[in-house]
Amino acid sequence: MKVSIQNAKAFLSEKNLSAILPEIVSAKETLVSGKGEGNEFLGWVNLPTEVSDEVLNTIKSDVSRLAPKSDIFVVIGIGGSYLGARAVIEALQSEFAAFAPDRSHPYIIYAGHTLSEDYYHQLLELLDSKDYSVAVISKSGTTTEPAVAFRIIKDHLEKKYGKPEASNRIIAITDAHKGALLDIAKREGYRTYIIPDNVGGRFSVLTPVGLVPIAMAGFDITRLLDGAKQMREICLSKNSYEENPALLYAAARNLLYRQGLKVEILENYVPHLKYISEWWKQLYGESEGKDGKGILPHSLSFTTDLHSMGQYVQEGERLMFETVLSLEKPQHRVAIPIDEQDLDGINYLTNKSLTEVNHCAEQGTTLAHNEGRVPVLQIAIPRIDEFVLGELIYFFEFACGVSGYTLGVNPFNQPGVEAYKKNMFKLLGKPGYNNK
C-alpha cells in the first residue's frame, strides 16, 4: 500500500513537511519507547508477532467444531468489540454472502451494537429457523448493549438446543480477570478467549476479538497477521516519509489540521470498504477527539455519495480534506456490453471494465475537489485480501498513535464515552446511579 500527497501539494509544501518531520519522528519514538501518556495500552504494537500458535489453533478448532452446525454466527459486541471484525469480514465477503447457497462457513450477523427492539425481534425470528452459534465480546464484560443482547440470545439459544448444547455453541471473549461476562463464562463453562489488558477496544482487531469472527466467516487470519507483521516492521524501523507511509499520513493530516481543516473524510469507491471507514472513524475519533481538539473523522462512499454529499464537498464551507482509500485491482472483471441501438448513449464505454470507469470517476472527482480547494490524500491498496487488510489495519493504528501524540493528546484513553452512560443508568434506575 502507498500514501500519496500528490493532490494535496498546494497545502503541503516540502518546507512544511520537512519542518514537521522531527515532531513526527519524536511522536513515533514516544510511541515505540512506551514513554508517552496511555502507555499501559500499547499491547497492539506487538500483537502481529505475539498472537500465539496456541490461540490460533484453538480458534481453528472452534471453527471446525461450530461451522458445520451453524448457518449463522452471531457476533455480539459494540464499538471496538465488533467494528474491526465487521470491517474485515465485509471487505472480504461477497456483498451477497447472505444468499450464498452452499456455505462452508456461517454467515455473520451482528448484535449488541444497537438497542433497537425491532432489530432483536427480527433477529430472533430469523434464528428460530436457523442453526446458529454465538460469540459474545466485551472487554469490560459490563457494557449494557451487548449484555442485554446476550441475555436475550442466550435465552433463545438455551430454549432451542437445551442448556448443555447451547453452552457448547457460545464463545466468550473478555478480560482475563474481571467482569460479569467472565463470571458467566466460568459458571457456564463456555470456551473463553482473553483480551489482553494492554489492548484497548479500538486497537483489538488482531486479538481474538477480531480473529474469532473473521476465522468463523472463513477467512485466513494467519495471512491477516502476516500483513500486519510486514507493516509493523516498516512502521517501527523507518523514519522517512518515503519509507514509512504511517509517518507521511500522520504528518499530512496534522499539517492540514493546523491550517484549519478540521474534518477528514475517508472515501472509498467500492462498497466492500464501507466498514473499514466505520472502524477507522472509531479509531481516530476516540483516539484524537479530546481536550477540545481533534480532526472530526467522517466518511463517504463514492460514487454513491457524490450524488448526495458531493455538492457540499465541492462548494460548501472549506473545512475538510479528503483521504481516498483507492483500490487498484478488483477480483473480477465486468465489461460493459455493446447495445446496437445505443438508446442510452453509452456505447462509447463498450468493452470498458467497470473499474476503468470507476477509476475515471475517482480521478475526475479528485481533480474537481482540488479545484474546489479541497486537498486530497490517497491511500492506494493493490487489492482486497487478508494480507493487504492486515497491512492496512496496522498502518492506520500506528499512524493514529503517532498522529495523536503529535496533536498533543493521549490517544489511548476515551474518558468521554462514559458521560451518556451515567445519564442512561440514572434514568433506568441502575443501583448506585439513582441519586435523588
Query: Is omega for the bond preceding 303 within 30 degrees of 0, making it cis?
Result: yes
All three cell numbers of 18: 520537512
Choice between 161 and 425, CB closer to ligand PA5: 425
79 near ligand PA5, rule: CB under 6 A: yes
CB of 146 to ligand PA5, least distance (A): 6
Burial class of residue 129 (count of CB atoms within 10 Å of its CB; 0-12, 13-18, 19+) = exposed
Q: Count how many Cα atoms sit within 13 Å of the Cα of residue 421 in the half-sphere of its side chain.
A: 9
Report the site for ligand PA5 in 277-336 (rule: CB under 6 A).
Answer: 286
CB of 279 to ligand PA5, least distance (A): 11
Nearest to 277 by CA among 69, 53, 84, 27: 84
Among 299, 378, 410, 414, binds ligand PA5 (CB under 6 A): 414
Which of these segments, 18-26, 90-98, 135-143, 387-395, binds ligand PA5 (CB under 6 A)? 135-143
133 near ligand PA5, rule: CB under 6 A: no
Choice between 241 and 394, CB closer to ligand PA5: 394
- CB 81: neighbour CB atoms within 10 A? 30
Q: Do 266 and 295 contact (CB within 8 A), yes or no?
A: no
Catalytic position from the list 307, 317, 332, 340:
307
How is residue 244 annotated by DSSP? -
Nearest to 291 by CA among 407, 199, 418: 407
Instruction: Identify whether 421 is a catalytic site residue.
Output: yes
Among 93, 133, 138, 167, binds ligand PA5 (CB under 6 A): 138
Among 36, 80, 213, 404, binds ligand PA5 (CB under 6 A): 80
Report the site for ligand PA5 in 81-100 (rule: CB under 6 A).
Answer: 81
User: What one-letter code names the amino acid at 234?
Assistant: I
All three cell numbers of 40: 499501559
| Binding characters for ligand PA5, 185-224, by CB under 6 A (x = yes) | ---------------xxx----------------------
Distance CA 119, CA 375 (A): 40
Q: At what angle do helices 83-92 and 386-407 cross, to 10 degrees?
A: 140
**Looking at the annotation, which residues are catalytic?**
286, 307, 421
Summarize as ranges the residues that interact with ligand PA5 (CB under 6 A).
78-81, 138-140, 143, 146, 200-202, 286, 414
